Amino acid sequence: MSIRVGQGFDVHGFAEGRPLVLGGIRFDYPLGLAGHSDADVVTHALMDALLGGANLGDIGLHFPDTDVAYKDIDSQRLLAEVVQRVLKAGWRAVHADLTVLCERPKIGPRRGEMAAVLARAFPHPVTINVKATTTEGLGFTGRGEGIAAMAIALLTSTDAG
């Protein structure tokens, strides 16, 4: 059995008139995130970590934002597709650790919910840990201009060798 790690990072800026979806969970918040898809920054970071671990490039390669098929798409559908492509390439995620960086909304109370929704995309056991931090008022997240997310995933090969 071989193991690999992958990391992902994503940023989306706040925008008016959009729902705020993080880790597949809708937040009651006056601003959403700008983006071609639903702009779920947390799910995008996880997708890139999975693709990275499987040596499959990145989200932009698999789901170009010039493709109208992905306009406002639910990122959970994209995550499920990534999981399938990773499996097809012979890799399976066993654990992912995510960090969400923002001042608001408060992520902590809903992190278990987010982890549970994200885990649904995997047809096999996986643990997903969601953490959140502010940046103490510093930088674009500190100024409330957007949200950043980081992810790391541990993958094992699915073949016996």
Chain residues binding Mg ion by CB under 5 A are 10, 44
Q: In angstroms, give the least distance from the CB of 37 to Mg ion.
A: 7
Q: How far is the CB of 10 from Mg ion (least distance, A)?
A: 4
Closer by beta carbon to Mg ion, 12 or else 111:
12
Nearer to Mg ion, 12 or 92 (CB): 12
Q: Give the count of beta carbons closer than 10 Å to the beta carbon of residue 50.
A: 27
Report the nearest approach of Mg ion to the CB of residue 33 (Å).
8
- Nearer to Mg ion by Cβ, of 54 and 148: the residue is 148
Radius of gyration (C-alpha) of the chain in whole angstroms: 15
Residue nearest to Mg ion (CB): 44
153, 120 in Cβ contact below 8 A? no
| Distance (Å) of CA 55 to CA 45, 49, 59, 88, 96 | 15, 10, 12, 12, 16
